[in-house]
Amino acid sequence: MLETILLVVSVLLIAIVLLQSNKASDSAQIITGGNESLFQNTKERGIELVISRLTLFLGIVFFIISFVLFIK
């Protein structure tokens, strides 16, 4: 039962991480420093905030279930 829940949470976590917006539009900009706004403190709004909080929630659930299965 817990293994099935862990599998579903894992798939959802992978999908939601892939949905997150890419903060660096090009990997070359990271190396050359072309994206100055990469590490600025910007507030997430709307769907980005929902996706970010859902990622945090799914990550916590994943680790809790994994820990319970490890102890069991």
Q: Convert the pLDDT of each residue in 1-33 to its tens digit.
A: 999 999 999 999 999 999 887 655 555 555 665
Task: Give the Cβ contact number of residue 32 at 10 Å.
Answer: 9
The residue extents of the domains of the chain are 1-19+44-72
pLDDT at 64: 97
Instruction: Measure the CA–CA gap between 55 and 67, rounded to whole angstroms.
Output: 18
Nearest to 52 by CA among 24, 25, 13, 6: 13
pTM flag (> 0.75)? no
Nearest CA among 23, 22, 25, 17 for reference residue 51: 17
Contact status, residue 44 vs residue 36, Cβ threshold 8 Å: no
User: Chain-centre distance of CA 4, in angstroms?
Assistant: 21
